[in-house]
Amino acid sequence: MSKFKIDHQSATPIYQQLSQYLRELMLQEQYQQGALLPKEVDLAEQLEISRNTVRQAINQLVVEGLLVRKKGVGTSVVQGQGAVMTKLKEWHSFTHEMNEAGRLLNNRSLEIDWVSAPEECAAFFQLERGASVLCLKRLREIEGRCLVYFESYFHPALGLTGQEDFNRSLYEILEQDLGIVPAISAERIQAVLATKALAAQLDIPRKGAVLKRVRQVKDRHGAPIEYNVGYYQGNAFVYEIDIHR
């Protein structure tokens, strides 16, 4: 708690500042494993704010289904709810998904270069093996934690040059700048073990659990646009699927 301080000059209400901090706290391993959050009275005393303000912040997260109170025990993270939740009944860019979830998303690192297309990527693009494609590599952090690493490959016919501002939403660039609308996504999600390099980027143990998500994106006419491989920190994401009979 010593690093977190309430900004009394901020336009953001105090309870919202605290609820945002608690969201970050909930992602820590100890709380994911069931440890109780600090008591309301302790939070109020340490942050020098009223207990009612602390209760308001916690109530917000309880209503959202992220925290649960147990009388006489304390407040803890609802199992699986500290993770980033994404429904798979429809798809959007990762930026859009995080914005919808109210998560603060940034690029920790970003690299763009022309490379030889990996075999599966070349096959999807219907290019010869070794054909040159634009590759965007991004290590993305959510509320200060590096939780996902993306490698995106783009069909050379799109017209991307590599000079674009890739701090913008990727699909916003395609739609607004190039008039290309991503419409179809075929996805494959599997559990894999992190390599040494990937573990270092995501700050997890070597051979730690990672979700690998391969996304093959086409436009409304079925033309291939993007081949994307994402590696998600295994305990930080939950994907929900609604199935109707």
pLDDT in tens, 87-103: 555 555 666 666 666 66
What is the structure's pLDDT at 91?
59
Q: 140 Cβ partners below 8 Å, 6+ apart?
A: 94, 105, 106, 107, 108, 146, 147, 148, 149, 150
Q: 151 Cβ partners below 8 Å, 6+ apart?
A: 135, 136, 137, 228, 229, 230
Calculate the dihedral angle through the C-alpha atoms of 84, 90, 94, 98, rounding to the nearest 10 degrees: -40
Where does the pLDDT of residue 60 fall: very low under 50, low under 70, confident under 90, or very high at 90 and above? confident
Beta bridge partners of 240: 87
Residues 140 and 146 sit within 8 Å (Cβ to Cβ): yes
Where does the pLDDT of residue 131 fall: very low under 50, low under 70, confident under 90, or very high at 90 and above? very high
The pTM score is 0.62
- 54 to 34, 66, 217: CA distances (angstroms): 20, 16, 44
CA distance 228 to 174: 15
DSSP 162: S
- Residue the block writes with tokens 């395609």: 174
Return the structure tokens found at 113. Answer: 């270069």
74 sits in the region (left: phi over 0; alpha: psi -120 to 50; else beta) called left
**Distance separating the N- and C-terminal Cα atoms of the chain:** 48
The region of weakest confidence among 3-17, 54-68, 190-204 is: 54-68
Residue 83 has pLDDT above 60, yes or no: no
Structural domains in the chain? Answer: 14-77 (1.10.10.10), 84-240 (3.40.1410.10)
pLDDT in tens, 145-172: 788 899 999 999 999 999 999 888 888 8
In terms of Cβ atoms closer than 10 Å to its own Cβ (0-12, 13-18, 19+), residue 91 is: middle
Residues 170 and 160 sit within 8 Å (Cβ to Cβ): no
